[in-house]
Amino acid sequence: MYNIYEAPFLRELCDTTANMYRLGWDERNGGNISYRLKQEEVAPYLDLSRVLRTLPLDFDAGELAGELFLVTGTTKYFKNVAKCPQNNTGILRVAEGGHTVEILWGYEDGSRPTSELPTHLMNHIVRLRADPDHRVVLHCHPANTVAMTFVHELDDRAFTLTLWRMMTECLVVFPEGVGVLPWMVCGNTEIGAASAEKLRDRRVVIWAAHGIFGAGRDMDEAFGLVETVEKAAEIYNLIGTRPILQSITDAELLRLADAFHLVPRAGYLQA
């Protein structure tokens, strides 16, 4: 077996969590990441037949049976992941039947996966239905996006249009738009199911007064989605109550979509 601490997928998670903490997106123990791993990339580093312990799931994750995930731990600080990944993260497998997960590595101090694991797994299920190459779900608390949810209408279309108009890149990065949820209690299957419903045909969902989920085929895509939304929200907050003298129009957004061969979310732009 190779040294798992040198595994590219673990180093990538360590680098990403450190960067997110540096940016202020994941204060204290806020935020979590789940990274779907391929068996062939894990097998050289880990005995996949050795189960350390099992944990229950309070919903049916049967669609993910046999899937492996690298997941940050509950109550863990992102700033500590890189220096002690074995305590702050773990690798788990969804067991046959879909009602338990098998811990294969990590959580060595007796900890558990993030309390948002139900939301992560529900989101993986719907994103894999939409895109078989999907791999990452990333959750964090970027300040400008959270601030925007206090002063902006919590409507998918309205929120999306505002973000698209803040920065030309936004339509290119997330032409399918963003989903927005009102405030809900976190860490349960209710908010997980509501998030998954939004992510069926999007890769970003925003939780009012809480944070954001980004999904992607790799860590860069998920991170880049959040990064772009947060930059647009920052611009929105910088404008504040000052009158807007010019903005990107619907016609211009449609021209942009045409130039990049994109299809904006149906019904959002007026021709």
Cβ neighbors of 127 (< 8 A, separation 6 or more) are 134, 137, 199, 203, 215
Alpha carbon distances (Å) from 262 to 13, 106, 169: 30, 41, 12
Q: Using an 8 Å Cβ cutoff, are 136 and 17 in contact?
A: no
What backbone phi and psi angles, to 5 degrees, belong to 215?
-125, 150
Which amino acid makes up residue 51? V
Give me the residue label for tokens 């509501």: 194
- Tokens coding 146: 């959270």
Catalytic site residue from 102, 116, 227, 230:
116
Q: Using an 8 Å Cβ cutoff, are 165 and 138 in contact?
A: no
Q: Is 96 a catalytic residue?
A: no
Distance CA 250, CA 239 (A): 20
Distance CA 64, CA 128 (A): 9
The residues that are catalytic are: 116
